[in-house]
Amino acid sequence: MQLILGTGLSGVLTCVVYAKLTRPEKLSRDGVGFSKKAVICMRDGRLCLMIRAWDLNYDHIISSEFTAHFVNTHKTKESEVIRYYARSLPLQQRQFLLWPVTLVHEIDATSPLFRLSPQNIAENSYEITVSLKGASASMGTFTQSQTSYLPKEVVWGHRFPPVVTYDRHRQQYVIDHSKLNTIEPVDTPYCSAYELYRVSGSPKDKLEPPGTPGSFSEKVSTFQIERTSSFKRKDKKI
Q: Which domain holds residue 88?
A: 24-159+181-209
- Highest mean pLDDT: which of 3-12, 142-151, 187-196? 187-196
Q: Per the domain annotation, does 92 fall within a domain?
A: yes
| CATH number of the domain enclosing 148 | 2.60.40.1400
Q: Per the domain annotation, does 113 fall within a domain?
A: yes
Given this model, what pLDDT does residue 213 score? Answer: 45
Burial 51-70 (b: 16+ CB within 10 A, else e): bbbbbbeeebbeebebebbb
Q: Per the domain annotation, does 229 fall within a domain?
A: no
Q: Per the domain annotation, does 82 fall within a domain?
A: yes
Counting the structural domains of the chain, the total is 1
Nearest alpha carbon to residue 102 among 26, 23, 210: 210
pTM strictly above 0.75? no
d(CA 199, CA 194): 9
For the cut 60, the answer to whether the pLDDT of residue 75 exceeds it is yes
Given this model, what pLDDT does residue 207 score? Answer: 38
| Average pLDDT value for the chain | 80
- Highest mean pLDDT: which of 2-6, 20-24, 45-49, 210-214? 45-49
Band the pLDDT of 14: cuts 50, 70, 90. confident
pLDDT tens by residue, 78-112: 989 998 999 999 998 666 777 889 999 999 999 99
